[in-house]
Amino acid sequence: MYKIAHDQEEILIRFEKDLVDSGILSKFLSHINLQSMLKKSGKGDAGTRLREQNRLAALPSGIDLLRDPNLNKGSAFTLQERETLGLTGLLPPRVHSLDEQVQRILENLRKQSTDIERYVYLIALQDRNKTLFYRVLLDNIEELMPIVYTPTVGQACLEFGHIFRRPRGVYITARDKGRVAELLGNWPFRDVRVIVVTDGERILGLGDLGADGMGIPVGKLSLYSVCAGIHPSQSLPITLDLGTDNASLLNDPLYIGLQQPRIRGELYDELVEEFILAVQQVFPGCMIQFEDFANRNAFRLLQQYRDQICCFNDDIQGTAAVTVAGILSALRCTGGELKDQRFLFLGAGEAGLGTGGLLVQALVEQGLSEEEARRCCWYVDSKGLIVKSRTDLSEHKQQFAHDHPEIADFKEAVETLRPNAIIGVSGQPKRFTPEILEFMAQINERPIIFSLSNPTSKSECTAEEAYTWTEGRAIFASGSPFPPVRMNGRNLYPAQGNNVYIFPGVGMGVVASGASRVTDEMFLVAAQTVAQEVSETDLSYGRVYPPLPRIREVSLAVAIAVAEVAYKDGLAVTPRPADLKEYIQGLMFEPEYSSYI
């Protein structure tokens, strides 16, 4: 027994020394308490002393330690740490707790006069102290998520080159063809489990922002860590900078990307394929999330790679899942069954068609044929109602083309089809007019009004408009947050149909199980799980999604459901633990300071 324990001790000591020599340990030391892990294998005095020497040798000292955002604790360094690590005199004398540091950050953050200033302030915090950044965000998610992500991140991307402070992630350009794996190898962390990648061509509803779209992968990955506990060192934001067709960026001297027209065709596909293969080489098993690609590429890239690698498209599948979750919750208010509903979408891009595809899957699960299920979903695009007689339809739109006379106007489509729900994913503001909303209230006791376009400026209608023109009877959700609305003597709390309810939990479920693929069934169970997490109290206030302060427990529930699918379908690499919930909880990153001494 003693011999085995002694051998384990030596192996672990040697392993840690190798980490020290390679420089890897210094990158992870602030987040992984290797000392406590080692203590489980033996407590010999020699081993303890050697471990302590290795830990100290791995750390930078003095000002270099304070400049490393992965390791910096600022005024929270203890007196002993300051003395040992050469920090004495470099910090104010008083030692502050993490909670006190959070209080200071919030005080200064709330003094900023605009949301974009608050965004810059938070990103600056992330640049100097990541643990504190994630603690502030986690403890104040409802207040700060609109700052670090929708809607403020849209404005941040519009101004990205002008507010740029410090690079994050990896930029891959056409001139890097043939050496993409080398670029990925420059990333300091090897255990990358989640990549969010964009080519910047369709950022939110704002269009082609080129390399300035990097704000989206950075923001998404922050939410992976905050909402589902994916460790920050296990995530990597990537921008494929293949040029831009945005004239203002091409003429902007502060634009950060290549000032050339977008590359398309064969060269585009070759670079994307090289990127996909390079990820498999450098970060095997890593999940790739495609984000904000234009329609022309989003569907075909997902179709091409979804059965080859572990990947998904959040604009197609994540939006679909969060929308279906909201619909399932809304039906608890209306009392109707999913198979009896008619859904009319304004917009037939990634979000709309993705939602239709997932709705069809949910309806087939309830016993409808695929053809019957598709008849529940109708679409109006820029040229009118999608019907079979039209000759301009893409393959994806043809799946939802029905036998019906052509209709050019959305209002006429609402009056003709008499839907139970209208779902806006068009990126066109104010398209849900008072006349349309009033008519929806005439034909439905509780009309479902989902105005999901982002950012706020692109919303098809506001929460106040939806409630006002339906006499407070609308079941409303939006892509960006709206404040509560006072109607008929009570407050109504608009639901935000944000993908954050879906993708972090899906990602954690994939990472925890080591799933080799991300399937549509995973997104359907994610949607069903989110809907189940909505309480009757939430519904009584108008919410069809759980309150954001519960996002970690919701993401945990989603992760468990997704991992269960991976194990059921034989997609999991990680052996199934006896207690899946406890196992996933144990993986979740908590932003707390580690002791360096």
Q: Which residues are catalytic?
A: 149, 220
Q: How far apart are CA 488 and CA 189, in angstroms?
A: 55
Residues 441/447, Cβ–Cβ less than 8 Å: yes
Which residues touch 254 (CB under 8 Å, ≥6 apart)?
161, 162, 164
What is the Cβ-side half-sphere exposure of residue 254, based on CA atoms within 13 angstroms?
A: 8
Q: Which residue has the tokens 């040029």?
A: 243
Q: Which residues contact 114 (CB under 8 A, 6 or more apart)?
A: none
Helices (H), 178-214: 180-185
Measured CA angle at 100 (ends 98, 103), to 5 deg: 115
Question: End-to-end CA distance of the chain, in Å?
Answer: 30
Helix (H) or strand (E) holding 52: helix 45-58
The b-or-e profile of 266-284 (16+ CB within 10 A means b, else e) is eebeebbebbbebbeebbe
Q: Is 207 helix (H, G, I), strand (E, B) or coil?
A: strand
Q: Are strands 495-496 and 485-487 parallel, antiparallel or unpaired?
A: unpaired
* Cα gap 22→465, rounded to integer Å: 59
Q: Is the dihedral of CA 248, 254, 156, 107 positive or negative?
A: negative
CA distance 394 to 405: 19
- The residue with tokens 């339809």 is 393
Question: For strand 384-385 and strand 377-381, is the pairing parallel, antiparallel, or unpaired?
Answer: antiparallel
Structure tokens at 585: 């909880």
What does the alpha-carbon distance between residue 569 and residue 525 come to, in Å, rounded to a whole number? Answer: 13
Residue 344 token pair:
């009319």
Determine contact, residues 423/477, Cβ cutoff 8 Å. no
Cis peptide before 217 (omega within 30 of 0): no
Query: Which amino acid, one-letter code, is at 517?
Result: R
All residues at 6 or more sequence positions from 33 whose CB lies less than 8 Å from its CB, including other chains = 594, 595
